[in-house]
Every structure is written in structure tokens, then in C-alpha cells.
């Protein structure tokens, strides 16, 4: 039985997702949280991870550690995205099983689903057709983690579950233009253009694809819900159930930032999947729903960006 003093290891506790989970659990009285910096443990290293489990014996493991990036990073470094993520999750899953953890929560991404899935995407559509080529390596790694948790659940009766969030954003996001996802990249581009006398902003693709965005604090609440309840199935989508075109997203961010210059769409760059909206009815049925509206979330994220911009790479602010 998970209690407030259960030993909970949050892998990736300093990242955007892990820190949001850590903060929420701390605020709700969980007093025995464990985190390790990457300098202290390389989660890709099997021996280091086994030593950690043998020494600490956590009751719960939340896997918020992953190698992540945007379209260009995924496409350019497909091998690293596949292998690094498989090594991280394989070590965490294997030793959570071997060292009898009471609960394991695996975090993935909606990119595990086929490129041309019917919309909205149900959990049952997994492996029903081809993946989006630009992030196939990352998706394959996460699919293997989902299946490992499913097999452990079925074969050993252990409480291993997988939560697949849609596109995440929020405090501590990555705003580096070379490696970030679309929403934080737009915040950086519009802010820098605003500081440059409202110069033109060039954005990738046609702007026609539609995407769903979830604030990271809503994901943290979904993780706490999974921690405090035994989910009846292995795989659950985590999202808002609402999507928006990239053009609409750009206009919203432009308004929040206060940029009044021109937007140019570079149609020579890839769009990725045409639409990616999750069916979140399964999670709603067990009792969880997202709460933060997109525009409110963008405003709070931009506020965080402004307050912390001096420590972020490639960000200019006056």
C-alpha cells in the first residue's frame, strides 16, 4: 500500500516533467522522494542502476527520464533517441521488477501511435499502422517500454502502468531553438523578434497540422492520480481532448508575447503528422481530467520564461 512516507524514486526529477511531479507530490505530503542527478547516476548504465536499486530499495518508481527533442533532433539523431531511451527504461523496468517495487509508472508520448491514426486516437490503435518517420526512433523505444510494462502486469500481476501524454509544455521547458518542441520554440522566436523591433518570425511547415497541448502540471496531477489509485488497465492517454492548428497556436503565442510583426511559414520544412488528438475517455472514466486552459498555460509559461531567461541558452532579453 502506497503511503505518504513510501520511498518514491522520480527518475528525471530535474527535468520539466520530473520537477513538476516532484513539486506536486511534495506539496501533497509525500515526504520520502528520491532523485538523482545525471552526474550521480547514468540511467543508461545497467550496473549503476542496479547498484542504486540494491542500495535504495524504492517502493515506487516514476520514469520521467528520457532523451527528448523536436522534429529536427529526432530526425537527425534517430539512433541515439532509440538506444538511449531503451537503455534508460529497460534498466528502470527490469530492476523495478527484480527489486519488488510496489508500483511503476512509465511515461511515454502520444507519438507512439501511427501517423495516420483515426482521430481521436484510442489506446487500442497502438501498432495498427506505420509510425511518423521523423520521430520513429523515439516512438519505437517508448512502445517497447509500454509493452514491457504490459507483459510484466500480465505475467507477474505487478502494478506497472503506462501514461501517454500529448504534447507537453510549461515551466522548465526547453526553449533552445535547435532542440525544443513547437510551443516553447515559438515562445522563444516571438520573444526574440519582439526584442528585435518586432521583426518577422519564420515558422516551420504550413501551419495546417493540428496538435493537442497539455500543461505539465496537469500531467503531474495525472501521475499522482495513478500513484494513489490502482489503474485497471496498463495504457492510458493523458491529454485535454481538444486540439488546435499550428497557425492558431502561433497567433495565440504571438498575442501573449506581444509581438506585432509578420509571420512567414516555410513550407519547405516538414509538417509531421497531420493531426494528433488523443481520446482521453479511458482516463476520464477512472476519475482524472485536465484542468488548465491552453491560453492560461501559455501565459504562465511565458511568465516563467521571462523570469528565468538569463539562465537559458540562446535567449535574449532586455
Annotated binding site: 12-18, 107-110, 142, 165-168, 181, 189, 204, 211, 271
Show the cell assigned to 7. Answer: 520511498
Number of Cβ within 10 Å of residue 127's Cβ equals 12
**What are the CA-CA distances from residue 42 to residues 25, 56, 106 (Å)?**
24, 16, 18
List, as residue ranges, the binding site for substrate.
Answer: 189, 204, 211, 271
Give the C-alpha separation, 254 to 207, whole Å. 14
Neighbours of 151 (CB within 10 A): 13
Strand (E) or helix (H) holding 9 = strand 8-11
Quick one: CA torsion of 45, 47, 50, 52, rounded to 10 degrees? -80
Sheet with 210-211: list strands edge to edge.
244-245, 210-211, 275-276
113 has catalytic annotation: no
| 10 contacts 33 by C-beta, under 8 angstroms | yes
Chain-centre distance of CA 221, in angstroms?
13
Would you list which residues are annotated within the binding site for NADP(+)?
12-18, 107-110, 142, 165-168, 181
CA distance 28 to 5: 11
* Active-site residue, from 30, 95, 138, 305: 138
User: Residue 40 gets which letter from DSSP?
Assistant: T
Per DSSP (E only), the strands in 127-282 are: 159-165, 167-169, 201-204, 210-211, 213-215, 235-238, 244-245, 263-266, 275-276
Question: How far is residue 185's CA from residue 305's CA, in Å, rounded to a whole number?
Answer: 11
Question: Residue 179: which H helix or E strand, with range?
Answer: none
- Residues annotated catalytic, as ranges: 138
Amino acid at each position: 500500500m502506497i503511503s505518504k512516507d513510501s520511498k518514491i524514486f522520480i527518475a528525471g526529477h530535474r527535468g520539466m516533467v520530473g520537477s513538476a511531479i516532484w513539486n506536486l507530490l511534495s506539496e501533497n505530503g509525500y515526504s520520502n522522494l528520491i532523485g538523482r542527478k545525471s552526474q550521480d547516476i547514468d540511467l543508461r548504465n545497467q550496473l549503476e542502476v542496479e547498484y542504486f536499486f540494491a542500495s535504495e530499495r524504492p517502493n515506487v518508481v516514476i520514469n520521467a527520464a528520457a532523451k527528448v527533442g523536436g522534429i529536427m533532433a529526432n530526425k537527425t539523431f534517430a539512433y541515439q533517441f532509440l538506444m538511449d531511451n531503451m537503455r534508460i527504461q529497460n534498466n528502470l523496468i527490469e530492476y523495478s521488477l527484480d527489486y519488488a517495487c510496489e508500483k511503476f509508472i512509465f511515461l511515454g508520448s502520444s507519438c507512439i501511435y501511427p501517423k495516420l491514426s483515426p482521430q481521436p486516437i484510442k489506446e487500442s490503435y497502438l501498432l495498427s499502422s506505420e509510425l511518423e518517420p521523423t520521430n520513429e526512433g523515439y516512438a519505437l523505444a517508448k512502445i517497447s517500454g509500454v509493452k514491457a510494462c504490459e507483459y510484466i502486469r500480465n505475467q507477474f500481476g505487478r502494478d506497472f502502468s503506462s501514461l501517454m501524454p500529448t504534447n507537453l509544455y510549461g515551466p522548465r521547458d526547453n526553449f533552445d531553438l535547435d532542440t525544443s518542441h513547437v510551443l516553447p520554440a515559438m515562445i522563444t522566436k516571438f520573444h526574440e523578434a519582439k526584442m528585435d523591433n518586432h521583426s518577422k518570425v519564420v515558422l516551420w511547415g504550413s501551419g495546417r497540422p493540428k496538435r493537442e497541448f497539455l500543461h505539465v502540471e496537469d500531467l503531474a496531477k495525472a501521475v499522482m492520480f495513478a500513484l494513489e489509485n490502482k489503474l485497471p488497465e496498463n495504457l492510458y492517454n493523458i491529454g485535454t481532448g481538444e486540439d488546435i492548428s499550428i497557425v492558431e497556436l502561433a497567433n495565440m503565442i504571438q498575442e501573449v508575447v506581444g509581438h506585432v510583426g509578420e509571420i512567414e511559414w516555410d513550407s519547405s520544412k516538414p509538417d509531421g503528422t497531420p493531426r494528433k488528438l488523443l481520446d482521453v475517455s479511458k482516463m476520464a472514466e477512472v476519475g482524472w481530467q485536465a484542468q488548465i486552459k491552453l491560453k492560461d498555460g501559455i501565459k504562465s509559461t511565458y511568465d516563467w520564461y521571462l523570469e528565468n531567461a538569463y539562465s537559458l541558452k540562446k535567449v535574449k532579453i532586455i
